[in-house]
Amino acid sequence: MGKIFIVIGVVFIIVGLLWGIFGKLPGDVSFKKGNFSFHFPIMTSIIVSIILTVIFYIIGKFR
């Protein structure tokens, strides 16, 4: 159980470091008007989805 928490923690650290890179991709929607701002990371979501799909596919092959 401890190894699982270590792996999850490392994954969160990697995602946190990469989030600064992926958070401002072309295709991410940002609106700012007055004191209201809205950010929807469409391209970031697509890239994260592709990466997770590949990771889960590889894990599934080894099961």
Give residue-wise pLDDT tens across range 8-62: 888 888 877 777 776 677 888 888 999 999 988 888 888 888 988 988 898 888 8
In a domain, 19, yes or no: no
In a domain, 43, yes or no: yes
Q: Cβ contacts of residue 41 below 8 Å, gap of 6+?
A: 22, 23, 25, 28, 29
DSSP H helical ranges for 1-63:
2-22, 42-62
Specify the number of domains making up the chain.
1
pLDDT at 53: 92
Domain holding 40, by residue range, is 25-63
Is pTM beyond 0.85? Reply is: no
* Res 22: pLDDT: 65
Residue 42 belongs to a domain: yes
